[in-house]
Amino acid sequence: MKIPVNRPLLNGNESKYLQECIETGWISSEGPFVGRFESEFAEKVNRKYGIAVSSGTAALDIAIECLGLEAGDEVIVPTFTIISCIHQIIRRGAIPILIDCDPMTWNMDVSQIEDQISSRTKAILVVHIYGLCANMNEVSRIAEKHNLFIIEDAAEAHGLHFDQKPCGSFGNISIFSFYPNKLITTGEGGMLVTDDPLLAKNSQSLRNLCFSQPRYVHQELGWNYRMTNIQAAIGVAQLERWDDFLARKKAIGAKYSALLANIEGIQLPLSKTDSSENVYWVYGVVLQNGMSGNEFSEKLAELGIATRSFFCPLHLQPVLTNQGLFVNESYPNAEHLWNHGVYLPSGVGITDEEIEYVSQSIIDLLK
């Protein structure tokens, strides 16, 4: 048995809408599915504006660029996240200020934020990790108190709610990813969502090389980060199955948790917190028996089971430390997750039989 870490489902109207793109010739970013996908997705997360782009990383670059950061400005960022979160902060000459994660939810420990705020702090970049929310009430309170901008990275948070409010609806601007391992996929792709018309306008310009009038005269530098009509067509078809996919994700998480309950040597993800219910973007486990995540993954690979390690914390990334960043900084919770965390096959296409095989394999290994 060979079980991939993710298997998307593309058996809805994806083929029909792709055929429509081909027959009409609308394959570029100017096709009608782009606007439809933007408006329908924005509505899903209670936002006024959606701006479709080529990837979640592109969405982050644009969101951070919209801040107008200057050299020396500071942005508070969780260390336990993907490296995309820090790219544009560094390119702008701004300074990332890192926060450790909570050992149970794996999200940034918001109790540490206020101690790191200085006169140079301009924004908080909050990231929802692996299917549970960061504490947005506290983040919002701190941001309002100190007049800070909030960027909400909801790349892994499709369908996730905090206090019954959808993730992606908090702060000034939020971003999503549509990589194949996300609840909704367009192959590659991303989305910015906001209620601010100026941020929406700036985002639309930045994704499209900042064209102005005359068309080929540019006052600012942007990117070609446009989403194609072909990608958006897939996205529209995927949105039609949002509720089914979300229910399946929750069922996958519940089945893993039931099968792995009371097994010594492993920490399972929380099913919920006081403010949110886990949507299990991925099903992650943390080894507590001294085994490293890499060793565990290698043993599962021998059984035909693909896995992924947890994120390498930003303060341990060679490309960043080689630039002199995060010297002598340590964040023990994030380091523990990196060393001992693994996520299991948990895409919407996984079968119950496969979940049972993975779970029994883990039980046998831990014994």
Closest CA to 61 of 156, 154, 175, 182: 175
pLDDT score of 1 more than 80: no
Q: From the centroid of its chain, how far is CA 292?
A: 24
The pLDDT tens digits for 58-75 are 999 999 999 999 999 999
Residue in this structure with the two tokens 């329908």, named with its chain if needed? 40
CATH 3.40.640.10 positions along the chain are 14-100+107-239
Q: Which residues are registered as beta bridge partners of 146?
A: none
Q: Which string of b and e fits 61-88 if b means at least 16 CB within 10 Å? A: bbbbbbbebeeebbbbbbbbbbebbbeb
Q: Which residues are registered as beta bridge partners of 52?
A: 191
Helix axes 242-260, 229-239, angle to 10 degrees: 60
Residue in this structure with the two tokens 């369908």, named with its chain if needed? 159
Distance CA 310, CA 267 (A): 13
CATH number of 242-366: 3.90.1150.10
Residue in this structure with the two tokens 């005269």, named with its chain if needed? 217
Plot region of 46 (φ>0 → left; ψ -120 to 50 → alpha; else → beta): left
- Residue 144's H or E segment, with its range, is helix 136-146
Helix (H, G, I), strand (E, B) or coil at 208: strand
Burial of 295 (0-12, 13-18, 19+ CB in 10 A): middle
pLDDT confidence of residue 234: 98
Question: Mean pLDDT of all residues in the chain?
Answer: 97
Is the Cβ–Cβ distance between 80 and 104 less than 8 Å? no
Alpha-carbon Rg for the chain in angstroms: 21
pLDDT confidence of residue 223: 96
pLDDT confidence bin for 5, thresholds 50/70/90: very high
CATH number of 14-100+107-239: 3.40.640.10
CA distances, 12 to each of 21, 234, 245 (Å): 16, 9, 12
Distance CA 103, CA 2 (A): 31
Cis amide bond preceding 318, omega within 30: no
pLDDT score of 79 more than 80: yes
CATH 3.90.1150.10 positions along the chain are 242-366
Mean pLDDT of 91-110: 97
pLDDT confidence of residue 213: 84
Is the Cβ–Cβ distance between 337 and 286 less than 8 Å? yes
The pLDDT tens digits for 177-189 are 999 999 999 999 9
Helix (H, G, I), strand (E, B) or coil at 232: helix
The pLDDT tens digits for 209-264 are 999 888 899 989 999 999 999 999 999 999 999 999 999 999 999 999 999 998 99
Residue in this structure with the two tokens 């509720």, named with its chain if needed? 243
Mean pLDDT of 165-171: 96
pLDDT confidence of residue 150: 98
Closest CA to 152 of 202, 98, 204, 85: 85
Distance CA 168, CA 128 (A): 10
Distance CA 244, CA 64 (A): 33
